[in-house]
Amino acid sequence: MESEKTINPPSGFTVFALLVVSLIIAGIFLGLNQEPIATVIAAIGIMFILPGFIIVNPNESRVLTLFGKYVGTIKKDGFFWMNPFNQKRKVSLRAFNLNGQQLKVNDSIGNPIEIAAVIVWQVKDTASAVFAVENYIQYVNIQSEAAVRHLANSFPYDNLEDENATITLRGGAEQVSQMLEQELNERLSRAGIEVLEARISHLAYAPEIAHSMLQVQQATAIIAARRLIVEGAVGMVEMALNKLSEKNIVELDEERKAAMVSNLLVVLCGDKAVNPVVNTGTLYH
């Protein structure tokens, strides 16, 4: 595989100035001698020189080949003159945005999900981009899709079903993006491509299981909230009993304590407004 060689061809302005001077001298000579053969030779010379002029815009390059052999790459912008027999292929050095399409794949535990990524890339090695692969833009598109699929298959969407998962697609966005960028650079290095940034742009459960997974998430959230409420209620009941005992407000036997704990837990853990009840008797009647 060819490695990139950067070349600096002669300035096109210098060659153009020499061409103009040569034309003036040739015109004077032909006007004095009036030789048709010299006129033909001068015309052929001009037709040979003119195709050698080349303009390279900023952040562009020209990959040059001569009769099937790689000559070098012009990366400097400006006006140049090269051997007219060189074949010149333009390769952009600007950054490209690849907005990947939504892919339907399975995560590491088999749940169907939809995922897409945005990738920013640019050509770093023009020789590899032109000679190592058939079409480097198509190569980027295909390898990017393969990398996103592999990433989705490597991690669970969430840790609802895999509580031991340390990295998930939804929760570990930064780590997942770094892994995607690293894998893309490894895959695309063959084509002389450097990935500047890779981010997950879309992530969701597939429509056929989205409703069921939403119910699972809601149930998990409710359980977590109830657990927090119960822990807080138990602490408040304990604090209330301790305060009553410290200040000697009322002496409660075990049965009254149990009744009080039950009532407080109902009040603190219930999700509806409490209606007070006035007890006109005693606990035992």
Is it the case that residue 3 has pLDDT exceeding 90?
no
SS3 content of the chain, % helix, strand, coil (to 5): 50, 20, 30
Q: Pick the residue with more confidence: 240 or 169?
A: 169
- pLDDT single digits (tens) 185-238: 999 999 999 999 999 998 888 877 656 666 666 666 666 677 777 777 777 777
Which residues lie closer than 8 Å to 244 by C-beta, 6 or more apart?
250, 252
Which DSSP symbol is given to 261?
A: H
- pLDDT single digits (tens) 102-131: 898 888 888 888 999 999 999 999 999 999
The backbone region for 78, taken as left when phi is positive above 0, alpha when psi lies in -120 to 50, beta otherwise, is: left
Q: How high is the pLDDT of residue 195?
A: 95
Amino acid at position 159, single letter: N
Mean pLDDT of the 56-80 span: 92
Least confident of 53-62, 127-136, 177-186, 263-272: 263-272
d(CA 233, CA 231): 6
Buried b (16+ CB within 10 A) or exposed e, 162-174: eeebeebbbebee
Confirm if 121 and 188 have CB atoms less than 8 A apart. yes
d(CA 113, CA 153): 10
Mean pLDDT of the 243-249 span: 69
Question: Beta-carbon neighbour count of residue 79 at 10 Å?
Answer: 14
Question: Beta-carbon neighbour count of residue 83 at 10 Å?
Answer: 11
What pTM was computed for the model?
Answer: 0.68
Which residues lie closer than 8 Å to 149 by C-beta, 6 or more apart?
103, 105
